[in-house]
Amino acid sequence: MHVLILGGTTEARGLAELLAADARPDLRVTTSLAGRVASPRLPPGQVRVGGFGGVDGLTAWLVEHRVDAVVDATHPFARAMSFHAAESAAVAGVPLLALRRPGWQPTAGDRWHEAGSLDEAADLLPGLGARVFLTTGRTGLAAFADLVDLWFLVRSVDPPQAPHPPRMEVLLDRGPFALDGERALLRRHRIDAVVTKDSGGAATAPKLVAAREAGLPVVLVRRPPTPEGVPAVTGPEEAAAWVHGH
Ligand code: NAP
């Protein structure tokens, strides 16, 4: 059996690790990465890197490599890939599962402002703060490029490229992040607002706790829609059970 994991997340790696630990001789696992990160943390099993070339490319890949099951474990904001996976799996007649971590939920004391997009988040910011901790990833910085009066602390895995806000400091780092570190970061940079996508998961949640403790507003970018009719689970264990069920 050949399983294709569409990866780029902690959960995708977790699933590859679980399947590798089972060491079943009849199970071959390939993880696919988009290639956005210069030196990604590689999962066990086979790894391929780079786009497939749209729906047609992915469908051809599934057929050519005799894929028996696909797990879409891409990031909740990787909208295009999830829709491509749904279409290609249907055309190729391959079962598809979505592995998607739950979104974050506000608790008492949170000052969250929901935005439908990065542009909407940028529109909200001027009324909320002047020194902004921006954790939405290096590829969406253009949305904030016109906010010339605000200062940004941008945290990303790889260095961002223009267009980006004119007044910014870049912090190259990769999660998981600890609460103490997040508290110190907000204090050291005198942050008064935080912007994040609703990525969910424990690895990057401490910034939300630190913001709540400090009474800071958080602009939370809502998740994009997902394809209909695709069964979904929230953790690698459930996804591994689904794979074994096939
Ligand atoms: P996207 O907008 O959904 O995808 C754009 C294109 O990138 C796709 O059409 C596909 O190219 C290629 N691609 C995406 N994921 C791929 C994968 N796992 N394997 C092979 N090709 C892939 O995705 P994105 O938002 O650019 O994210 C790219 C990757 O980074 C995803 O795998 C995701 O899991 C990871 N990631 C994204 C975010 C985020 O905030 N968006 C955060 C953390 C990690 P073709 O059409 O040529 O096949």
Q: Measured over all CA atoms, what is the biggest interatomic distance in the chain, rounded to whole angstroms? A: 59
**Coil vs helix vs strand at 71:** strand
Output the CA 175–ligand 1 centroid distance in Å: 18
* Structural domain boundaries, residue 60: 2-102+225-245
Output the CA 79–ligand 1 centroid distance in Å: 8
Place of tokens 């988009």: 34
pLDDT tens-place string over residues 158-207 = 999 999 999 999 999 999 999 999 999 999 999 999 999 999 999 999 99
Instruction: Check if 109 has its Cβ closer than 6 Å to any atom of ligand 1.
Output: no
Residue of the CA atom closest to atom 13 of ligand 1: 34
Residue of the CA atom closest to atom 29 of ligand 1: 34
Is residue 207 located within the same domain as residue 241? no
Output the CA 130–ligand 1 centroid distance in Å: 31
Q: How many domains does the structure of the chain reveal?
A: 2
Is residue 201 located within the same domain as residue 147? yes
Is residue 127 located within the same domain as residue 217? yes
Is residue 47 located within the same domain as residue 132? no
Helices and strands (DSSP H and E) totals, the chain: 7, 12
Is residue 145 located within the same domain as residue 70? no
CATH of the domain at 53: 3.40.50.720
Is residue 115 located within the same domain as residue 215? yes
% pLDDT > 70, the chain: 100
pTM: 0.95
Is residue 93 located within the same domain as residue 127? no
Is residue 87 located within the same domain as residue 117? no
Q: How far apart are CA 91 and CA 128, in angstroms?
A: 47
Pocket of ligand 1, candidates 81, 101, 173: which has the most ligand atoms within 8 Å of its Cβ, to mutate? Answer: 81
Residue 96 has pLDDT above 90, yes or no: yes
pLDDT tens-place string over residues 198-218 = 999 999 999 999 999 999 999
Is residue 30 located within the same domain as residue 119? no
Is residue 204 located within the same domain as residue 121? yes
Instruction: Check if 9 has its Cβ closer than 6 Å to any atom of ligand 1.
Output: yes
Instruction: Check if 33 has its Cβ closer than 6 Å to any atom of ligand 1.
Output: yes
CATH of the domain at 153: 3.40.50
Ligand 1, residue 12: give the atom nearest the CA: 34
Q: How far apart are CA 62 and CA 93, in angstroms?
A: 10
Report which DSSP code applies to 151.
Answer: E
Is residue 120 located within the same domain as residue 189? yes
Instruction: Check if 7 has its Cβ closer than 6 Å to any atom of ligand 1.
Output: yes
Residue of the CA atom closest to atom 26 of ligand 1: 78
- Identify the band that residue 124 occupies on the pLDDT scale cut at 50, 70 and 90: very high
